[in-house]
Amino acid sequence: MTSAADAATRASQLRIMLFDVDGVLTDGTLLYGEDGEKIKAFNTLDGHGLKMLAEVGIRTGIITGRRSRALALRCADLGISILHQGVADKAAVFANVLSECGLQPDQAGYMGDDVVDLPVMVRCAFAAAVPAAPIDVRSRAHYVTQADGGRGAAREVCDFILRAQGKFDALIAGYLA
């Protein structure tokens, strides 16, 4: 992990923030219903954090190894159009997303929780991880959250980015008007 000042400098340049799902936007628990349907629980604070990034012009998206109808519904609810599920090669998808958006790696961030996320974390400008991530992941992150995955970790990262870009106070002022 880098210094808070370095992490903030890195976050200040972001134009897109991408997220893994299980262990980041959820607590990592996979529940299976009687019919085999996977059930996921998402945190509303995290969801609103992603919406706030979008409000200030920072794109958000998902790159995840699993497939889930619940995730597709959640992304639709949040207005997230960059959704890549069932991904085996996250680095290739990351490169494609940047190309499609006309962005460079130094304008992108990614939040993950496990070694499968490292190929993107080491290629982006700002990498974030959750406290439950293995040490090899946390040590390569520029920012490790206090909050756990699925329990406000993504929101913490969104707020950090907004503050690093000097947009947090103005955004919050809109809620106070």
Cβ–Cβ contacts within 10 Å for residue 102, how many?
A: 8
- Whether this model's pTM surpasses 0.85: yes
- Tens of pLDDT, residue by residue over 34-83, are 887 778 899 999 999 999 999 999 999 999 999 999 999 999 999 999 99
Q: What is the pLDDT of residue 35?
A: 81
Cβ–Cβ contacts within 10 Å for residue 85, how many?
A: 16
Domains of the chain, by residue range, sit at 4-167
For residue 166, pLDDT over 90 is answered with: yes
Mean pLDDT of 17-37: 90
What lies within 8 Å, CB to CB, of 83 at 6+ separation is: 61, 62, 71, 72, 75
The CATH fold assigned to 4-167 is Rossmann fold (3.40.50)
Q: Coil, strand, or helix at residue 23?
A: coil
For residue 1, pLDDT over 70 is answered with: no
- Tens of pLDDT, residue by residue over 120-142, are 999 999 999 999 999 999 999 99
Q: What is the pLDDT of residue 167?
A: 97
pLDDT, mean over the chain: 95
Mean pLDDT of 87-92: 98
